[in-house]
Amino acid sequence: MKQLSDYNFFDPELLVCPYEFYKLAREEAPIMELPSPRTDAKLFLVTRYDLVIEILKDTKVFSSNFSTLLAGKEESDDELQKIYAQGWPQINTLLTADPPEHERFRALVNKAFTSSRINKMHDLIQQIVDELIDSFIGQNQCEFVSEFAVPLPIKVIAQQLGVPQTDLPQFKQWSDAFIARLGHRLSREQEIECAKDVVAFQHYFHDVIESRKKQPQDDLISDLVQAKVLGERSLNTAELLSIIQQILVAGNETVTSALAGGMLLLAKNQEQMKLLQTDLSQLENFVEEVLRMESPTAGMWRVVTQDTKLGDVDLEAGSLVMVRFDAANRDPIKFQEGERFDVRRHNASNHLSFGYGTHFCLGAMLARKEMQIAYERLLLRLKNIRLAQDYQYSPNILMRSLKHLYIEFDKIA
Ligand code: HEM
């Protein structure tokens, strides 16, 4: 039988199916030291539910200011600096800001992400969902990732940020550029292309911001531009651009991953799909169970700010910690038979897929709404959904993402 020391967490094969490794890690080393990518900082992987919460609660000791970890090479590259100088400074706002600065940003942005704004998006989301289904339903088959799960969140966010349909390809390119900067080691040419995309994105949205300032509309970007909190300065252009950028990065790939992962779970668990199709009142709980099982954001970084002890492990200031939502979400102490997909699981919504505490996902309400409407329409319009080919995940440390998912189905008359 395999021992914990036989596994290499960074092995692409492990990343696409890490659950056997997590089982051992939670039992034997829930705070596990890994080979660090940096010589000046140790790296720890945290896999137990209670320990992940302990870290996320303590923003003083476990800082979210990990942007230097993710930064590009602009500081040491003249050409990159020149390109970025044509835009606005990139600043830490939500995801990578700590309290107290984080509080101002979050309070202002919460003014835009209200339940009434999200509820107003219902008809728009349903219309996009139905148009996407219309585009493939006649063929009784589709590649679900590219034909449904990718376009849905992009179209929703684009509409809410004032991007017309004709600019969608451009919008997707910018979104991909931000994600490329986060996830991969880029060549210098790629860094330069990404920098140009970042600056083009900034100029495009600077114009949208100015137009919404003059003429507000019924959309998210107008709400962001106008957001006011007593005693706080409104968001300036650089802050707005940083927030819009985060909405793109945090809101597209995650929803794509959740939509595709949920479809795969259904196709692989026919009896659960029948259960849902005969009783759509289980839909909300099913969405929570998909989020628990798939954990689209598989992990997130924190930086240790002072020497501390977590469980029985000493952590030095400067160490990097990666909390693993995907491991915590299958912790058997919290979720009985955590590896089993069960649309009726009573505590499915206790998952940590949207994080916990200060940085709890800004878009959780929107993501849930998109998932609920999507699956409802899919299950009302398609039956006998089944896998047409083998599926494949991309190995990625932060994101769980299916490369493609070919399905077949029959149309419900
Ligand atoms: C299923 C879809 C989604 C998942 C799984 C997800 C996951 C997460 C997680 C785990 C965090 C916390 C990160 C941390 O603690 O460091 C987070 C934060 C965030 N999410 Fe999401 N997210 C999703 C959808 C969205 C959407 C649709 C948007 C925007 C439209 C969004 C915007 C954000 C932002 C801006 C933050 C930072 C919040 C802050 O630091 O105050 N997310 N998300």
pLDDT for the residue 257: 97
Contact 121, 129 (CB under 8 A): no
Return the higher-pLDDT residue of 182 and 223.
223
Query: Residue 381 corresponds to which tokens in the numbers above?
Result: 């319009």
Q: How far apart are CA 250 and CA 208, in angstroms?
A: 20
Q: What is the pLDDT of residues 69-86, one digit of tens each?
A: 655 566 678 899 999 999
Provide the percentage of residues in the chain whose pLDDT is more than 70: 97
pLDDT for the residue 73: 60
pLDDT for the residue 190: 85
Q: What is each CA distance from 49 to 17, 252, 254, 305, 327, in whole angstroms?
A: 19, 26, 21, 22, 8
3-state secondary structure of 305: coil
pLDDT for the residue 393: 95
The region of weakest confidence among 64-68, 101-105, 318-322 is 64-68
Q: Considering only CA atoms, which of 60, 25, 51, 57 is closest in space to residue 310? A: 51
Q: How far apart are CA 35 and CA 247, in angstroms?
A: 32
Q: Is the CB of 355 under 6 A from ligand 1?
A: yes
CA of 251 to the centre of ligand 1 (A): 7
Contact 402, 393 (CB under 8 A): yes
Q: Is the CB of 220 under 6 A from ligand 1?
A: no
CA of 243, closest atom in ligand 1 = 35
Residue 413's pLDDT band (cuts 50, 70, 90) = confident
Q: Is residue 1 predicted with pLDDT exceeding 90? A: no
pLDDT for the residue 74: 63
Q: What is the pLDDT of residues 241-281, one digit of tens each?
A: 999 999 988 889 999 999 999 999 999 999 999 999 999 99
Q: What is the pLDDT of residues 181-193, one digit of tens each?
A: 765 567 888 889 9
The angle at the Cα of 369, spanning 366 to 373, to the nearest 5 degrees, equals 145
Mean pLDDT over residues 112-120, rounded?
94
Residue 38's pLDDT band (cuts 50, 70, 90) = confident
Residue 8: φ, ψ to 5°? -115, 110
Q: How confident is the prediction for the chain on average, in pLDDT?
A: 93
Contact 36, 321 (CB under 8 A): no
Contact 183, 399 (CB under 8 A): yes
Q: How far apart are CA 201 and CA 215, in angstroms?
A: 21
Mean pLDDT over residues 299-315, rounded?
96
DSSP-derived secondary structure for 38-107: STTS-EEEE--HHHHHHHHH-TTTEE---HHHH--SGGG-HHHHHHHHTS------STT--TTHHHHHHH
Return the higher-pLDDT residue of 183 and 201.
201
β-pairing verdict for 141-143 and 401-404: unpaired
Mean pLDDT over residues 201-220, rounded?
95
Q: Is residue 12 predicted with pLDDT exceeding 60? A: yes
Q: What is each CA distance from 7 to 10, 29, 79, 122, 401, in whole angstroms?
A: 9, 13, 41, 45, 21
Q: Is the CB of 363 under 6 A from ligand 1?
A: yes
Q: Of 46, 98, 362, 368, which is best to mutate to test ligand 1, by the most ligand atoms within 8 angstroms of its C-beta?
A: 362
Going by alpha carbons, the residue nearest to atom 34 of ligand 1 is 362
Contact 322, 45 (CB under 8 A): yes
Q: Is residue 221 predicted with pLDDT exceeding 60? A: yes
pLDDT for the residue 304: 97
Q: Considering only CA atoms, which of 407, 412, 402 is closest in space to residue 379? A: 412
3-state secondary structure of 399: strand
Q: How far apart are CA 91 and CA 70, in angstroms?
A: 13
Contact 105, 94 (CB under 8 A): yes
CA of 352, closest atom in ligand 1 = 10
Q: How far apart are CA 64 and CA 303, in angstroms?
A: 7
Mean pLDDT over residues 389-395, rounded?
93
pLDDT for the residue 185: 65
Q: What is the pLDDT of residues 338-371, one digit of tens each?
A: 999 999 999 999 999 999 999 999 999 999 999 9
Q: How far apart are CA 144 and CA 402, in angstroms?
A: 10
CA of 288 to the centre of ligand 1 (A): 15
Q: Is residue 323 predicted with pLDDT exceeding 70? A: yes
Q: Does CATH place domain 4-411 in 1.10.630.10?
A: yes
Residue 42's pLDDT band (cuts 50, 70, 90) = very high
DSSP H/E element including 287 = helix 283-294
3-state secondary structure of 359: helix
Return the higher-pLDDT residue of 397 and 340.
340
Q: Is residue 140 predicted with pLDDT exceeding 80? A: yes
